Amino acid sequence: MSPETEKSLETKAKLLEGALRTLTEQGIAKTSARTVAAAAGVNQALVFYHFGSVDELLAAACRYGAEQAVGRYRERFDAVTSLSELLAVGREMHEAERDRGHVARLGQLLAGAQTHEALGPATAAGLDLWIVEIEKVLVRVLGGSPVGEFVDPAGLARAVAASFVGMELYEGVDAVGADSALDALDQLGVLVSALEELGPVAQRAVRHRLRRTARR
Protein backbone atom coordinates (compact mmCIF):
# COMPACT_ATOMS: atom_id res chain seq x y z
CA MET A 1 0.00 0.00 0.00
CA SER A 2 1.41 3.38 -1.00
CA PRO A 3 1.96 5.98 1.73
CA GLU A 4 -0.83 8.49 2.22
CA THR A 5 -0.42 11.88 0.62
CA GLU A 6 -0.26 15.05 2.67
CA LYS A 7 -3.67 16.05 1.33
CA SER A 8 -5.17 12.70 2.34
CA LEU A 9 -3.78 13.00 5.87
CA GLU A 10 -5.09 16.56 6.09
CA THR A 11 -8.57 15.44 5.02
CA LYS A 12 -8.60 12.61 7.56
CA ALA A 13 -7.55 15.02 10.31
CA LYS A 14 -10.38 17.37 9.32
CA LEU A 15 -12.86 14.49 9.48
CA LEU A 16 -11.59 13.37 12.89
CA GLU A 17 -11.84 16.90 14.25
CA GLY A 18 -15.24 17.31 12.63
CA ALA A 19 -16.50 14.09 14.20
CA LEU A 20 -15.34 15.19 17.67
CA ARG A 21 -16.90 18.62 17.26
CA THR A 22 -20.19 17.13 16.05
CA LEU A 23 -20.34 14.71 18.98
CA THR A 24 -19.71 17.56 21.42
CA GLU A 25 -22.08 20.10 19.91
CA GLN A 26 -24.90 17.92 18.49
CA GLY A 27 -24.67 14.58 20.29
CA ILE A 28 -24.46 11.01 19.05
CA ALA A 29 -28.05 10.99 17.75
CA LYS A 30 -27.32 13.78 15.24
CA THR A 31 -23.87 12.58 14.23
CA SER A 32 -23.95 11.39 10.63
CA ALA A 33 -21.78 11.48 7.52
CA ARG A 34 -23.56 14.69 6.52
CA THR A 35 -23.16 16.52 9.83
CA VAL A 36 -19.54 15.44 10.27
CA ALA A 37 -18.64 16.41 6.70
CA ALA A 38 -20.30 19.79 7.20
CA ALA A 39 -18.30 20.37 10.39
CA ALA A 40 -15.11 19.29 8.60
CA GLY A 41 -15.84 21.37 5.50
CA VAL A 42 -15.48 18.42 3.10
CA ASN A 43 -17.67 16.25 0.88
CA GLN A 44 -19.52 13.57 2.88
CA ALA A 45 -18.39 10.87 0.42
CA LEU A 46 -14.91 11.30 1.93
CA VAL A 47 -16.18 9.85 5.22
CA PHE A 48 -16.69 6.49 3.51
CA TYR A 49 -13.61 6.80 1.31
CA HIS A 50 -11.25 7.27 4.26
CA PHE A 51 -13.00 5.34 7.04
CA GLY A 52 -15.51 2.98 5.44
CA SER A 53 -18.39 3.91 7.73
CA VAL A 54 -19.52 6.54 10.21
CA ASP A 55 -19.02 4.09 13.08
CA GLU A 56 -15.40 3.47 12.07
CA LEU A 57 -14.83 7.22 11.79
CA LEU A 58 -16.26 7.72 15.29
CA ALA A 59 -14.07 4.92 16.66
CA ALA A 60 -10.99 6.51 15.10
CA ALA A 61 -12.03 9.95 16.38
CA CYS A 62 -12.43 8.54 19.89
CA ARG A 63 -8.86 7.23 19.88
CA TYR A 64 -7.57 10.41 18.23
CA GLY A 65 -9.25 12.65 20.80
CA ALA A 66 -7.96 10.57 23.72
CA GLU A 67 -4.40 10.63 22.38
CA GLN A 68 -4.54 14.41 22.08
CA ALA A 69 -5.95 14.85 25.58
CA VAL A 70 -3.47 12.50 27.25
CA GLY A 71 -0.64 14.23 25.41
CA ARG A 72 -1.61 17.54 27.00
CA TYR A 73 -1.06 16.12 30.49
CA ARG A 74 1.76 13.59 30.05
CA GLU A 75 4.44 15.99 31.31
CA ARG A 76 2.28 16.89 34.30
CA PHE A 77 1.85 13.22 35.16
CA ASP A 78 5.60 12.67 34.90
CA ALA A 79 6.21 15.47 37.43
CA VAL A 80 3.79 14.13 40.09
CA THR A 81 5.54 12.99 43.28
CA SER A 82 2.61 12.18 45.61
CA LEU A 83 -0.95 10.88 45.57
CA SER A 84 -2.26 14.28 46.64
CA GLU A 85 -0.49 15.86 43.63
CA LEU A 86 -2.04 13.26 41.33
CA LEU A 87 -5.50 14.06 42.66
CA ALA A 88 -4.83 17.79 42.27
CA VAL A 89 -3.82 17.26 38.63
CA GLY A 90 -6.93 15.14 38.12
CA ARG A 91 -9.16 17.88 39.49
CA GLU A 92 -7.49 20.54 37.34
CA MET A 93 -7.74 18.27 34.32
CA HIS A 94 -11.42 17.60 35.00
CA GLU A 95 -12.23 21.32 35.03
CA ALA A 96 -10.18 22.06 31.91
CA GLU A 97 -11.63 19.16 29.90
CA ARG A 98 -15.16 20.05 31.01
CA ASP A 99 -14.67 23.60 29.75
CA ARG A 100 -13.45 22.22 26.41
CA GLY A 101 -16.65 20.19 26.11
CA HIS A 102 -14.85 16.88 26.42
CA VAL A 103 -16.90 15.72 29.40
CA ALA A 104 -20.07 16.09 27.33
CA ARG A 105 -18.38 14.23 24.48
CA LEU A 106 -17.38 11.35 26.73
CA GLY A 107 -21.00 11.03 27.82
CA GLN A 108 -22.07 10.83 24.18
CA LEU A 109 -19.44 8.18 23.41
CA LEU A 110 -20.49 6.05 26.38
CA ALA A 111 -24.13 6.35 25.34
CA GLY A 112 -23.29 5.57 21.71
CA ALA A 113 -21.28 2.49 22.70
CA GLN A 114 -24.57 0.82 23.70
CA THR A 115 -25.79 0.81 20.09
CA HIS A 116 -22.69 1.43 17.93
CA GLU A 117 -20.60 -1.74 18.04
CA ALA A 118 -17.30 -0.11 17.08
CA LEU A 119 -17.52 2.55 19.78
CA GLY A 120 -17.26 0.22 22.78
CA PRO A 121 -13.72 -1.04 22.11
CA ALA A 122 -12.62 2.41 20.89
CA THR A 123 -13.91 4.16 24.01
CA ALA A 124 -12.24 1.54 26.20
CA ALA A 125 -8.97 1.98 24.29
CA GLY A 126 -9.18 5.73 24.83
CA LEU A 127 -9.72 5.28 28.56
CA ASP A 128 -6.81 2.82 28.66
CA LEU A 129 -4.48 5.62 27.56
CA TRP A 130 -5.40 7.49 30.75
CA ILE A 131 -5.13 4.35 32.86
CA VAL A 132 -1.58 3.65 31.65
CA GLU A 133 -0.45 7.14 32.70
CA ILE A 134 -2.21 6.95 36.08
CA GLU A 135 -0.76 3.50 36.80
CA LYS A 136 2.79 4.74 36.13
CA VAL A 137 2.27 7.56 38.63
CA LEU A 138 0.81 5.21 41.26
CA VAL A 139 3.70 2.78 40.94
CA ARG A 140 6.11 5.66 41.45
CA VAL A 141 4.41 7.50 44.32
CA LEU A 142 3.19 4.48 46.31
CA GLY A 143 6.38 2.43 46.00
CA GLY A 144 7.84 3.79 49.22
CA SER A 145 4.55 4.40 51.01
CA PRO A 146 3.44 2.38 54.07
CA VAL A 147 0.42 1.27 52.02
CA GLY A 148 2.35 0.57 48.81
CA GLU A 149 2.64 -3.19 49.25
CA PHE A 150 -1.10 -3.51 49.93
CA VAL A 151 -2.24 -1.71 46.77
CA ASP A 152 -2.57 -3.09 43.24
CA PRO A 153 -1.53 -0.11 41.04
CA ALA A 154 -3.19 -1.53 37.92
CA GLY A 155 -6.51 -2.07 39.66
CA LEU A 156 -6.33 1.23 41.51
CA ALA A 157 -5.56 3.07 38.26
CA ARG A 158 -8.76 1.67 36.76
CA ALA A 159 -10.72 2.58 39.88
CA VAL A 160 -9.41 6.16 39.73
CA ALA A 161 -10.22 6.45 36.02
CA ALA A 162 -13.69 4.99 36.52
CA SER A 163 -14.32 7.34 39.44
CA PHE A 164 -13.43 10.40 37.41
CA VAL A 165 -15.56 9.23 34.47
CA GLY A 166 -18.49 8.70 36.82
CA MET A 167 -18.03 12.08 38.46
CA GLU A 168 -17.79 13.82 35.11
CA LEU A 169 -21.16 12.39 34.11
CA TYR A 170 -22.66 12.85 37.58
CA GLU A 171 -21.69 16.51 37.57
CA GLY A 172 -24.26 17.14 34.86
CA VAL A 173 -27.11 16.34 37.27
CA ASP A 174 -25.56 17.23 40.65
CA ALA A 175 -22.60 19.61 40.46
CA VAL A 176 -22.49 20.09 44.24
CA GLY A 177 -22.46 16.33 44.86
CA ALA A 178 -19.68 15.82 42.31
CA ASP A 179 -17.63 18.56 43.95
CA SER A 180 -18.10 16.88 47.34
CA ALA A 181 -16.87 13.59 45.86
CA LEU A 182 -13.74 15.31 44.57
CA ASP A 183 -13.20 16.84 48.01
CA ALA A 184 -13.39 13.35 49.52
CA LEU A 185 -10.67 12.16 47.15
CA ASP A 186 -8.53 15.14 48.18
CA GLN A 187 -8.93 14.06 51.81
CA LEU A 188 -7.75 10.56 50.86
CA GLY A 189 -4.62 12.10 49.37
CA VAL A 190 -4.00 14.04 52.59
CA LEU A 191 -4.37 10.84 54.62
CA VAL A 192 -1.81 8.97 52.52
CA SER A 193 0.57 11.94 52.71
CA ALA A 194 0.25 11.92 56.50
CA LEU A 195 1.15 8.22 56.59
CA GLU A 196 4.21 8.87 54.43
CA GLU A 197 5.41 11.50 56.92
CA LEU A 198 5.36 9.11 59.86
CA GLY A 199 8.70 8.01 61.29
CA PRO A 200 10.18 4.55 60.56
CA VAL A 201 8.81 2.97 63.75
CA ALA A 202 5.30 4.26 63.15
CA GLN A 203 5.42 3.16 59.50
CA ARG A 204 6.44 -0.36 60.53
CA ALA A 205 3.52 -0.43 62.95
CA VAL A 206 1.12 0.62 60.19
CA ARG A 207 2.47 -2.06 57.83
CA HIS A 208 2.21 -4.70 60.56
CA ARG A 209 -1.39 -3.76 61.26
CA LEU A 210 -2.28 -3.79 57.56
CA ARG A 211 -0.67 -7.20 57.07
CA ARG A 212 -2.65 -8.63 59.98
CA THR A 213 -5.87 -7.18 58.54
CA ALA A 214 -5.06 -8.53 55.06
CA ARG A 215 -4.62 -12.07 56.41
CA ARG A 216 -8.09 -12.16 57.97
Express each pLDDT in 166-191 by its tens digit. Answer: 776 777 777 787 778 777 777 766 66
Q: Mapped to the 3 state alphabet, what secondary structure does the chain carry?
A: CCCCCHHHHHHHHHHHHHHHHHHHHHCHHHCCHHHHHHHHCCCCHHHHHHHCCHHHHHHHHHHHHHHHHHHHHHHHHHHCCCHHHHHHHHHHHHHHHHHCCHHHHHHHHHHHCCCCCCHHHHHHHHHHHHHHHHHHHHHHHHCCCCCHHHCCHHHHHHHHHHHHHHHHHHCCCCHHHHHHHHHHHHHHHHHHHHHHCCCHHHHHHHHHHHHHHHHC
pLDDT value, residue 205: 59
Tell me if 15 sits within 8 A of 42, measured CB to CB. Answer: yes
- Tell me the C-alpha distance between 163 and 140, whole Å: 21
pLDDT at 3 over 50: yes
pLDDT value, residue 187: 72
pLDDT at 198 over 60: no
Mean per-residue pLDDT, 39-61: 94
Mean per-residue pLDDT, 81-99: 82
Q: 3-17, 64-78, 113-127 — which is least confidently predicted?
A: 113-127
What is the band of 64 on the pLDDT scale with cuts at 50, 70, 90?
A: very high
What is the band of 41 on the pLDDT scale with cuts at 50, 70, 90?
A: very high
pLDDT value, residue 156: 84
Distant-in-sequence, close-in-space partners of 79: CB < 8 Å, separation ≥ 6: none
pLDDT at 79 over 90: yes
Q: Which residue has the higher pLDDT, 202 or 110?
A: 110
Q: Which residue has the higher pLDDT, 207 or 175?
A: 175
Mean per-residue pLDDT, 7-34: 92
Mean per-residue pLDDT, 109-135: 85
Count other C-beta atoms under 10 Å from residue 95's C-beta: 12
Q: Which residue has the higher pLDDT, 49 or 153?
A: 49
pLDDT value, residue 1: 45
Q: Residue 145, class by beta-carbon neighbours within 10 Å (0-12 exposed, 13-18 middle, 19+ buried)? A: buried
pTM (predicted TM-score): 0.74
Q: Which residue has the higher pLDDT, 159 or 148?
A: 159
Mean pLDDT of the chain: 81
